[in-house]
Structure 1
């Protein structure tokens, strides 16, 4: 049975960097693929590698049921395409970049998903958020106050190097990838 890995974490914990590290490390060597997100945030705004959709195109795709998962957060719409269902039906494990608030709905749709929470020390998160310059100071403070989700999740602490955090994510993916094959 294929596994859906639902990776989530607050802005600034480094989940995008860890997912990029894992993706580059795997590079087709295992039956694990990484889904991209469709987001109404322009690509030039920085952050993860995503596919930009205008609000109108996002609404059209949502209305045509082209998203397996979709949510709104911080004024933007996010979607994961239905292609993940075809990939899993073909035996591929799929890694998605999810939302902590949307996790209960994702679990309803994919009861066997593996939730992976990326965490980091608040001082590290503050430094990362301020360094990327996308949020105002007020937005940074609001993001730091959000409560973490820890129920039925695997947690990865990402306070050190990219290699250390990335290898922790790889270890999580490989452990569950292997167990789903036996």
Structure 2
């Protein structure tokens, strides 16, 4: 099974994913390729130049790509193969293409109230007050037509959010 976790900045996607992976060793996180220096920190990703990204794209190395916040992102083919369930931190804007590429994709939206998002964004210290306001203006969204998702509200402790994400990662019961 392939899961895409999407949601606004500050929702805690990386924190919840880290906790879910620790609790479920059978789950594998896709290591994304991003056109920013690896030393930029945050999640574990492969930082590449725009030229390297373009070369690998032309070689067919990526199953899915998208642009966001002035950067390019990719899910490499070699990251989604294998018997394990895989999860990737995706983009809401890329969901229509993701569903086309991965027909059985399950989408999980992680979100939190605006006040919680604002506090988390301010605490991480990477954005200006103006940047935070811009991110908050994009926090609410509607999924593209035909795409269903499970919503995880991350408005409490990390442990509670991880528990909610683990519940969303369970197989669908018929």
The two structures share one fold, judged by TM-score above 0.5: yes
Q: More deviation in 140-149 or 125-134?
A: 140-149
Measure the CA separation in 2 of the matches of 1:43 and 1:172: 30
Measure the CA separation in 2 of the matches of 1:126 and 1:137: 9
SS of the aligned residue for 2:92 comes to coil
Gaps of 5+ in 1: none
SS of the aligned residue for 1:57 comes to helix
Measure the CA separation in 1 of the matches of 2:31 and 2:156: 25
Q: Which residue of 2 aligns with 1:16?
A: 14
Q: Which residue of 2 aligns with 1:61?
A: 56
Q: Which residue of 1 aligns with 2:133?
A: 141
Q: Deviations for 1:9-33, whole angstroms, at most 9, x for unmatched residues?
A: 111100011001111122x3x3x22
1:161 to 147, 157, 172: 157
The number of aligned residues is: 170
Q: TM-score under structure 2 normalisation?
A: 0.91
Gaps of 5+ in 2: none
Q: Deviations for 1:36-94, whole angstroms, at most 9, x for unmatched residues?
A: 1111122332321211111111111111111111111001111111014422xxx3211
Q: TM-score under structure 1 normalisation?
A: 0.87
Contact 1:4-1:93 at 8 Å conserved across structures: yes
Measure the CA separation in 2 of the matches of 1:62 and 1:138: 33
Measure the CA separation in 2 of the matches of 1:85 and 1:43: 21
Correspondence 1:32-181 to 2 at 5 A: 32-87=27-82, 91-146=83-138, 147-150=140-143, 151-173=147-169, 175-176=170-171, 179=173
RMSD: 1.6
* Structure 1 residue ranges (4+ consecutive) displaced by more than 6 angstroms after TM superposition: none
